Amino acid sequence: MGCAGVAARTRRWVCGGALILALSAAPAEAAPSLAKLGDFAAPVYAAGAPGDTARVFVVERKGRVIVWREGVGGQTFLDLTSITLSDDTERGLLSLAFAPDYATSGRFFVYMTVAGGDIQVREYRRAHADAADPASGRVLLTISHREAGNHNGGQLQFGPDGQLWLGTGDGGGGDDQFGHAQDPASLLGKLIKLDVNSGAATIAAVGLRNPWRFSFDRANGQLVIGDVGQGAVEEINVGLSGNYGWPCLEGKSAGPRADARCASGTAAPAVEKTHGRDGFCSITGGYVVRDPGLPTLAGRYVYGDFCAPALRSVDLANAASDASLGINVPNLSSFGEDACGRLFVVSLDGPVYRLIDGALSACDLGSPPATVAPDRRACSVAMRVSGVRSVRRLKRLTVALRTDEACRASVRASIKGVAQFRRTTTSVSAGTRKVVRVKLTSRGVRAVRSALRRKSSLPVALRVSAVDAAGNTRTVTRTVRIRG
């Protein structure tokens, strides 16, 4: 999902038939294989809910969520077809995520495109175990996406910080032609954290093209993103970075457009797959395997591609370990994970599978996903001061700031024994140059003018304190001399 028009030009959407209810089993510790759950109508995602070992929830692109149980089959859990825009190959109902306390709250969230092409994140609540309450829906976030039909992103995932994370595409077309990916004022081409209680959205990272699927390693909370490339390279990014480089970079190579904002905090991909040599066209990000029932893949990241049917795995610390699983899934649309860490494999053609290594492993809900240690690292701050020769006339200094993550910066300045400048506070986006003007007080203007008549220069002490979203503070000081 992400190569504009690929499916439209070469394939029709396949509507599934009857569900196959039984999971096939193989001898224990066999090579990885697929056990088919059933066939669905253009499925794009599958997941299990916290506290529920019996049900699998399958998202169909046209707007339905199907709940499946072994021995029972599938039934409609939620039908949003009347409000889902699926007129483009990359639009539709694209994923869902369950609140960590779903077992008691019944809250879950969907990512979809609606009339006009806008992206929406909506909250719904469970009516009972096998059905949602459609009347419970409320819109948490709407992102304008009306310039093109492709590059909608599509993933929702609760992070180890308890926030709901989503990945958005760059707005479509080609070459980031609308300029969203590096624009801190746009929510497109971004990784976003959403507070599901307040609806507040925070940009966690910029510079993405179309992060169709991303995940968090349930053992250590590490973020892994499969970002869909343009004409040459598909990439896997490991770890949270302020900037992933698009459109300046496609993978590690030069991208279609230069942008000065790419210069700071850009992360290189851990794995690249090419369109020519590897036959990739639209990478489908997966999960680091933590299922005890998949010992041959333990700790390896499983992923694939919409055009190259071979499923693959890699040790993310060693790109050279990348290898095929010996399993082909044509038109791979997604992977998914249940509450126990068991993996699903989804084909847009209709089938949804479990990935197994012998018999299906038992589910142990007593071992929840690990959380990462709290963020203790303060953002870095670079400061440049100008206007030292014009303070008497303009009554201010100009301070340019750059940080490697989003933060709130407070700038103070004073001339000891002479004058104070007014404190200035501003928000600074990761890797973006932010200019602030630090102005003298009215009394300070008179005092500086008087002092500069007696001295050729005066020392100004500047102090910048920057606080990130986790509350970590970095303080930077500098002294400059102003002249009359």
For residue 450, what is the domain's CATH number? 2.60.40.2550
For residue 301, what is the domain's CATH number? 2.120.10.30
In a domain, 362, yes or no: no
In a domain, 404, yes or no: yes
In a domain, 363, yes or no: no
Tell me what the mean pLDDT of segment 306-332 comes to: 96
**Per-residue pLDDT reduced to its tens digit, 371-423:** 544 566 777 888 999 999 999 899 999 999 988 777 789 999 999 999 999 99
Residues 406 and 318 in one domain: no
Q: Say if CB 56 and CB 344 are below 8 A apart.
A: yes
DSSP state of 307: S
pLDDT at 363 over 90: no
**Per-residue pLDDT reduced to its tens digit, 69-106:** 988 999 999 999 999 999 989 999 999 999 999 999 99
Q: Is 334 exposed, middle or buried (0-12, 13-18, 19+ CB in 10 A)?
A: buried
Q: What is the DSSP string of 142-163?
A: EE---S-SS----EEEE-TTSP
pLDDT, position 21: 31
Three-state DSSP class for residue 7: helix
pLDDT, position 19: 30
Length of the chain: 484
Three-state DSSP class for residue 361: coil
Residues 348 and 445 in one domain: no
pLDDT, position 467: 85
pLDDT band at 370 (very low <50, low <70, confident <90, very high): low
pLDDT at 430 over 80: no
Residues 288 and 419 in one domain: no
pLDDT, position 23: 38
Residues 91 and 128 in one domain: yes
Q: What is the 3-state secondary structure (H, E, C) of 390-425?
A: CHHHHCEEEEEEEECCCEEEEEEEEECCCEEECCEE
Domain total for the chain?
2
Residues 419 and 312 in one domain: no
Residues 185 and 320 in one domain: yes
pLDDT, position 11: 34
Sheet of 233-238, strands arranged across: 213-216, 223-227, 233-238, 271-274
Beta bridge partners of 166: 156, 192
Rounded CA-CA distance 33/15 in Å is 24
Rounded CA-CA distance 335/286 in Å is 5
Residues 345 and 428 in one domain: no
In a domain, 376, yes or no: no
Give the tokens for residue 49: 């809910």
Tell me the residue ranges of DSSP E strands in 259-317.
Answer: 271-274, 283-288, 301-305, 310-315
**Per-residue pLDDT reduced to its tens digit, 151-199:** 999 999 999 999 999 999 999 999 999 999 999 999 999 999 999 998 9
DSSP state of 116: G
Q: Say if CB 401 and CB 382 are below 8 A apart.
A: yes
Residues 223 and 114 in one domain: yes
In a domain, 375, yes or no: no
Rounded CA-CA distance 483/412 in Å is 19
Give the tokens for residue 390: 């014009």
pLDDT at 254 over 70: yes
pLDDT, position 473: 86
pLDDT band at 270 (very low <50, low <70, confident <90, very high): very high
Beta bridge partners of 58: 46, 66
Residue type, 279: G
Q: Containing domain of residue 87, as a range?
A: 6-356
Residues 134 and 249 in one domain: yes
pLDDT, position 369: 59
In a domain, 371, yes or no: no
Tell me what the mean pLDDT of segment 461-473 comes to: 84
Residues 20 and 164 in one domain: yes
